Amino acid sequence: MKLVVWGVALLALLVLLDRLLLGFETRGWINYRRRGLSKGGAAYHVLQLQSIFNPGAREVIEAKYREVREEDDSGDTG
């Protein structure tokens, strides 16, 4: 029974953390789940460093930002 209570408590904590991070994303403080990586973010720079050692990563990064640029140019919001 204790295990079930701990499991439910953990699940509730994860849901609350998810909502908190989505709230931060809505305010523009972070990129979490709904928006992609920005070129100013640390994750973008880590991917750029990784692309030095993994050429496949470079192709993925370029394809992702090509899509973002095309959406920005067309004015399509999703």
d(CA 60, CA 67): 11
The type of residue at 66 is R
Least confident span in 2-11, 30-39, 64-73: 30-39
d(CA 54, CA 7): 38
Whole-model pTM over 0.75: no
pLDDT at residue 4, as a whole number: 93
Residue 1: DSSP 8-state: -
Task: Calculate the average pLDDT of the chain.
Answer: 77
State pLDDT tens for residues 9-45.
Answer: 999 999 999 999 888 888 877 777 666 655 556 666 7
Structural tokens at position 56: 């496949």
